[in-house]
Structure 1
Amino acid sequence: MADAELHLEDGGLWVQPLAVPAETAGRPALFLDRDGTINVDTGYPRDPAEIALLSPIVPVIRAANTAHIPVVIVSNQSGIARGLLDWNDFAAVNARLLDLLAEQGCFIAMVLACAYHERGKRPLNVADHPMRKPNPGMLFRAAELLDLDLGGSVVVGDKPSDMKAGRRAGLGEGWLIGGTCSGMPGFACRALLSDPDWAALIERVSRLSVRS
């Protein structure tokens, strides 16, 4: 647990900065869910050897890196609260994921993960924790630490909770893998269903810029 504790806040929130504010200040971010968005969702992954990247996300991250847009991972990890894995398991999987991305020329600016869940074990059995998506706490925490422009940022995920977290954080736009969303006034939710949709996302990310 010693290595994992380096990045833990209050026992239920993982905060791992990989960039410094001098590199990210005032910039919009690309917020990404993890399981089912960056890597194949195997259901509470705990074995680093089983981690495999989802190929469509790689050029999206590369586009953000090229445009100097910080990429931030925000992941719910209720499996930790439920006792299905622990933070050391998460740390090993996270390290493998970052290595696989680095092999593809992709850099992540920050990783955040929330283990709180209402049906978890004490002390992680917290209902509606502000850090757990669809609440926006992880996005706010990233913005605080990296001095990000949330209003100009974009979120990508495979669940409506990812979109809701983005909207609640003040983002204007989200891209939902495998579906569409509605009922979010003032928030542009776009579907990622086919290759042209992913190409549109790559183009959108490449055009994100610092607002004057």
Structure 2
Amino acid sequence: MNANKALFLDRDGVVNIDHGYVYEPEKFEFVPGVFQACKAFVDAGYKLIIVTNQSGIGRGYYNEADFNALTHWMIAQFNQHNVRVTDVYFCPHHPKNAQPNYLKECDCRKPAPGMLLQGIKEHNIDPAQSIMVGDKISDMQAASAASIATRVLVRSGQRFEMSVIESAHHVCDSLADLPHILLPQ
């Protein structure tokens, strides 16, 4: 059986504007052009997989039920734009700032590759044909550790040190720019 290719996306700062610890639909603001960009990749044969650190759960700002409700709402928004989200993986842990049951070093919190490796295994993904899009060096490090072939850093209005920029194969302002960079026109 042939392996699939995936477009792995960080959530906050890539799919939605990062307003910090968002867990309510009314505060979730999609990045302009995100649906069209994701549809272009899905139409090109990519599985769409979201991998997101969610330390707000561990910190007690919201709970896993809140996160799951927002995730179901977000997936429904993608579905309304004819974009299928294959899966969403999240890490609620934090090594220093979390409630006791979430306070730990884990293999899923980026820069660790655990969420990517889980997606690769569960959906028969070929990392050599896949792309990771993130807005932090931890996203690039996780992608590198999971042998994801293409790493894309989205600025999301941020300024980065050269070392962060050099960790990516491509740098763009928004996910909306990505089809023009990586897909044949």
Query: Shorter-normalised TM-score: what interval?
Result: 0.7 to 0.9
Question: Which amino acid letter does the alignment assign opposite residue 162 of structure 1?
Answer: D
The separation in 2 between residues aligned to 1:189 and 1:43, in whole angstroms, is 27
| Number of residue pairs aligned between Structure 1 and Structure 2 | 179
SS class of match (1:111): strand
Alignment-derived partner of residue 121 in structure 1:
99
Query: Would you say 1:68 and 2:48 are equivalent positions?
Result: no
2:109 pairs with one of 104, 117, 132: 132
- Structure 1: gaps spanning 5 or more residues: 1-21, 208-212
Taking a change above 3 Å as real, the CA distance of residues 137 and 158 of structure 1, as seen in their structure-2 partners, is same
SS class of match (1:45): coil
Alignment-derived partner of residue 192 in structure 1:
172
Query: Would you say 1:104 and 2:81 are equivalent positions?
Result: yes
Counterparts of 1:26-105 in structure 2 under 5 Å?
Answer: 26-105=3-82
Runs of 4+ with deviation above 3 angstroms: 179-184, 203-207
Question: Which amino acid letter does the alignment assign opposite residue 57 of structure 1?
Answer: V
The separation in 2 between residues aligned to 1:74 and 1:85, in whole angstroms, is 18
CA apart distance, 1:189 = 2.6
For the Cα contact (< 8 Å) 1:33–1:74, is it kept in 2? yes
- Structure 2: gaps spanning 5 or more residues: none
For the Cα contact (< 8 Å) 2:15–2:31, is it kept in 1? yes
Residues 5-28 of structure 1: CA deviation (Å, up to 9, x unaligned): xxxxxxxxxxxxxxxxx8xx5022
TM-score, length-scaled by structure 1 = 0.77
CA apart distance, 1:137 = 0.6
SS class of match (1:130): coil
TM-score, length-scaled by structure 2 = 0.87
Question: Which amino acid letter does the alignment assign opposite residue 189 of structure 1?
Answer: H
Aligned sequence identity (%): 29
The separation in 2 between residues aligned to 1:189 and 1:160, in whole angstroms, is 12
Aligned-residue CA RMSD (Å): 2.2
Question: Which amino acid letter does the alignment assign opposite residue 174 of structure 1?
Answer: R
The separation in 1 between residues aligned to 2:168 and 2:67, in whole angstroms, is 32
